[in-house]
C-alpha cells in the first residue's frame, strides 16, 4: 500500500508539472501572436509540454502496475490463509482409529516421524477374536465338504499344550484358503475360537474337528476290502459271496464302509485262495467273557516302550532347553517306569513331530 501512495504522489507531481509546461506553452504562443516571441521558443515550450504529458502517462502506468502487484499480493495472502486453514483442518482430522479394540503388534511409528501414504503403521490383534490356521490332507479336506463343495461349519476343539498342562477352547470351522502355497501340500483351513483366553498369535496348537456321526456304516479291517471295492461274506451253505460296498474313508488299518451287512460274517483278511463260491468253515468270532472294568481301562492307558523308543523320548526331554527342570524330572521319572501313560507318550511324540 505504501508503494501505491508513492506512485500516486509521483503522478500528482507529474500532472502538476504537465500543467505548468502547458501554461508556459500557451504564454509563448500568445507572445508569438503579438509578434514578441519566436517560433523556436514556441516549439521548445510545446515539446516541454508534450514531454510532461508523456511523463503523466508513464506515472499512470506505474501506478496501475503497483496496484496490480498489490492485488496479486492480496490474492496470494488470501490463498496462504486458505492453505493454512486447510492444513489445520487436516491436522485436526488426521486421526487413525481402528474399528475395534485391539492390541498393537509390529509398531513402526514414533513421535515426530513422518509417514508416507499406504505405509503400515502397526498390526492390530483383537485378543477376543482369534482364529487358528491349520492344514489337513486333501483326503481329509474332501471329507469335510458339504453338498455345495464348501467346508461345513463343524465344531472344533483347539488345545494348547505346555509341559504337562493344557488350555482348550471350542471353535467353529469358518473358511478355507483360496490357494495352495508354493511348496505346500493339502488344504489350509481356518477356525474361529469361541473362548480364546490364554491363546496368543503364533501359538502351536492341536486342532480336533468333530465330524457328524456316520450312520449305517461298518468298521472293517482294511484287509477285508478287495481291489474291486467288495468284501467276502458268508452266505448260504457256508459259501462266500462277494458284496459290493461303498468305501467312506480309511482310518489307519481299518476302513468304514456302507452296505447291507447287518448280521452277516465278513472275511477279515483276503487271500488269493479266497473268492466267491468257495465253501469255508467260519471260526467262532463272538466276544468271550474276558475281564472288564476300571482296572482293564487303566491298563489300556499304559504302554510298554521299547528301549529305542524310550531312549528317543529321553533324549528329546534332556535336549529341550525351554522345558523347566521340574517338568523334566517328572517326565524322566515316568519314562523310567516299565509302563508309561499313553497320554504322556502321545504329547511328547507330537512335540517331537513323530
- Maximal CA-CA distance, the chain: 169
| CA 266 remoteness from chain centre | 51
For the chain, the structural domain boundaries read 2-91, 124-209, 213-280, 298-352
- Bridge partners of 233? 241, 266
The full DSSP string for 197-246 is TT--TT---EEEE-PPPPPS-EEEEGGGS-TTSEEEEE-GGGBEEEEE-E
| Assigned CATH topology for domain 213-280 | 2.40.420
- What confidence score (pLDDT) does residue 288 get? 40
**Which one, of 133, 138, 135, lies nearest residue 249 by Cα?**
138
Percent of the chain with pLDDT over 90: 18
pLDDT digits (tens, 9 = 90+) for 10-35: 778 877 777 877 877 777 777 777 77
| Average pLDDT value over all residues in the chain | 82
For the sheet containing 254-258, what is the strand order? 218-221, 254-258, 246-251
Res. 1 pLDDT band, cuts 50 70 90: low
- Bridge partners of 322? none
Q: Which residue did the predictor score with more confidence, 201 or 6?
A: 201
Res. 117 pLDDT band, cuts 50 70 90: confident
Cell 482369534 belongs to: 130
- What confidence score (pLDDT) does residue 168 get? 92
Cell numbers representing residue 222 in the block: 482294511
The full DSSP string for 290-347 is ---SHHHHHHHTEEEPPHHHHHHHHHHHHH-TTS-HHHHHHHHHHHTSSEEEHHHHHH
We find that the CATH architecture of domain 124-209 is Beta Barrel (2.40)
Cell 499313553 belongs to: 342
Q: What angle do CA 51, 54, 58 make, to 5 degrees?
A: 135
Torsion sign, CA atoms 24, 28, 30, 36? positive
Amino acid at each position: 500500500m505504501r508503494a501505491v501512495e508513492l506512485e500516486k504522489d509521483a503522478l500528482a507531481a507529474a500532472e502538476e508539472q504537465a500543467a505548468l509546461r502547458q501554461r508556459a506553452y500557451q504564454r509563448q504562443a500568445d507572445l508569438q501572436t503579438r509578434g514578441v516571441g519566436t517560433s523556436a521558443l514556441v516549439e521548445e515550450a510545446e515539446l516541454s509540454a508534450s514531454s510532461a504529458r508523456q511523463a503523466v502517462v508513464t506515472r499512470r502506468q506505474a501506478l496501475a502496475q503497483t496496484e496490480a502487484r498489490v492485488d496479486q499480493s492480496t490474492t496470494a495472502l488470501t490463498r496462504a490463509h486458505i492453505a493454512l486453514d486447510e492444513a489445520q483442518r487436516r491436522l485436526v482430522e488426521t486421526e487413525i482409529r481402528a474399528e475395534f479394540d485391539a492390541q498393537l503388534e509390529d509398531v513402526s511409528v514414533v513421535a515426530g516421524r513422518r509417514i508416507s501414504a499406504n505405509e503400515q503403521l502397526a498390526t492390530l490383534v483383537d485378543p477376543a477374536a482369534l482364529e487358528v490356521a491349520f492344514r489337513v490332507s486333501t483326503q481329509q479336506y474332501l471329507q469335510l465338504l458339504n453338498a455345495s463343495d464348501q467346508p461345513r461349519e463343524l465344531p472344533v476343539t483347539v488345545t494348547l499344550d505346555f509341559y504337562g498342562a493344557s488350555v482348550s477352547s471350542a471353535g467353529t470351522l469358518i473358511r478355507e484358503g483360496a490357494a495352495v502355497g508354493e511348496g505346500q501340500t493339502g488344504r489350509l483351513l481356518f477356525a474361529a475360537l469361541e473362548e480364546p483366553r490364554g491363546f496368543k498369535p503364533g501359538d502351536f496348537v492341536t486342532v480336533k474337528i468333530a465330524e457328524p456321526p456316520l450312520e449305517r456304516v461298518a468298521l472293517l479291517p482294511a484287509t477285508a476290502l478287495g481291489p474291486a471295492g467288495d468284501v467276502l461274506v458268508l452266505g448260504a451253505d457256508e459259501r462266500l459271496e462277494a458284496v459290493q460296498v461303498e468305501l467312506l474313508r480309511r482310518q489307519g488299518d481299518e476302513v468304514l464302509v456302507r452296505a447291507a451287512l447287518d448280521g452277516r460274517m465278513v472275511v477279515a483278511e483276503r487271500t488269493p485262495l479266497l473268492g466267491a463260491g468257495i465253501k469255508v468253515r467260519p471260526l467262532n468270532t463272538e466276544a468271550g467273557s474276558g475281564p472288564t472294568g476300571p482296572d482293564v481301562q487303566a491298563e489300556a492307558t499304559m504302554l510298554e516302550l521299547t528301549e529305542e523308543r524310550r531312549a528317543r523320548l529321553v533324549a528329546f526331554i534332556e535336549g529341550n532347553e525351554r522345558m523347566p527342570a521340574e517338568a523334566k524330572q517328572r517326565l524322566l521319572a515316568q519314562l523310567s517306569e516299565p509302563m508309561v501313560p499313553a497320554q504322556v507318550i502321545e504329547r511328547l511324540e507330537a512335540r517331537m513331530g513323530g
